[in-house]
Amino acid sequence: MQALRIPPAGTPELAGRIRHKIDRKTKPLGALGMLEGLALRLGLIQGTDSPHIHAPHLLVFAGDHGVAAEGVSAYPQEVTWQMVMNYLAGGAAVNVFARPQGLSVDVVDAGVNHVFETHPRLLDRKIAMGTKNFAKEPAMTVAQCEAALAAGSRAVRSLSVLGSNLLAVGEMGIANTTSAAALMARFTGMAAEACIGRGTGVDDAGLVRKREVIRQALILHRGAATPIEALAALGGFEIAMMAGAMLGAAQERMIILVDGFIAGAALLAAQAIDPGVLAYCVFAHQSEEAGHVAMLKHFNAEPLLKLHLRLGEGSGAALALPLLRAACDFLNQMASFESAGVADQGAR
């Protein structure tokens, strides 16, 4: 994958102009709370004091994981392709949440262990029929990882050409919380135990297996020195492709609406490749997956929602989108003290 050149998100002069515009709205200073900071971030990402959301798009990246053979998930691997069919049929939670928001949903086959028929909402970017079992060997080769990163970036550029300025990222892949937890431990340096949760809802015995698999995998792959080598050793095709999509979106100055724990793990990889990506991210929600709170702290991020979700697939991002629209709308449409003829505190 070619080195990306992510442009800076905004300037100090623009930040000052946006803050002044926010403060002159007909409200007490800070009265719109997190929406004010969100409006500032959106304006900096788009390089304007009048940000807007146009043709938002959610890509659900799907891939299978060889580490599922270690019994780290409560569901069998075939659920991955079955859920892809559910997304394409419009019957999943993310479809239901996205429709009222005008949020387009496409599925990206990054590496599902299934052969799909052609579908207008399915992007075939399959690298292989699932990753290898990283408990025993690298999940993928470095070349495969680079191909996944590049495919994700290309998919987003195609959306940008069509006018989309917001990318929401979601995922589907049985055992991908195991991969995400391992990547979190690797990229943050946190203890593995702090990164590991129940994922799809494994029982106590399954949780013990999951912890041991990740602990041993981190030892096995400790020689993976670069970010791409670490992602190849411990990642999933869908996680690597999400990371590439985030890097590509930042290069295109698109808003990146990050879903939950697994999308956050992809961002950890993307940030390790190019730290500039973080300035383009908005964090949709805090999930129930153990480790996500610590991950958000690592990013110094304040999520928009806390709904105790642990579904993935971009569901939290779809639910958060109206807040981004509200932030743009108040900045662009709400009257100022001057335009409304309302005396502000400083005038008294």
**Which 3 state secondary structure label does DSSP give 223?**
coil
Cα 182 to Cα 211: distance, rounded to the nearest angstrom: 9
Of 70, 171, 252, 313, the catalytic one is 313
Element of type H or E holding 122: strand 122-124
313 is catalytic: yes
Check: CB of residue 230 under 8 Å from CB of residue 102.
Answer: no
CA angle 258, 282, 46 (to 5 degrees): 120
**Which 3 state secondary structure label does DSSP give 246?**
helix
How many CB atoms are closer than 10 A to CB 33? 8
**Which 3 state secondary structure label does DSSP give 256?**
strand
> Token digits for 137?
């060997």
**Which DSSP string corresponds to 4-62?**
P-PPPS--HHHHHHHHHHHHTBSS-TTTTTHHHHHHHHHHHHHTSSS----S-EEEEEE
Distance, CA of 137 to chain centre: 26
Q: From the DSSP assignment, how many helices (H) and strands (E) are in the chain?
A: 13, 6
Cα 90 to Cα 105: distance, rounded to the nearest angstrom: 9
Nearest-10 Cα torsion for 263, 285, 99, 113:
30
The CA-atom distances, in angstroms, between 256 and each of 69, 79, 137, 143, 348 are 33, 27, 32, 26, 42
Which residues are known to be catalytic?
313
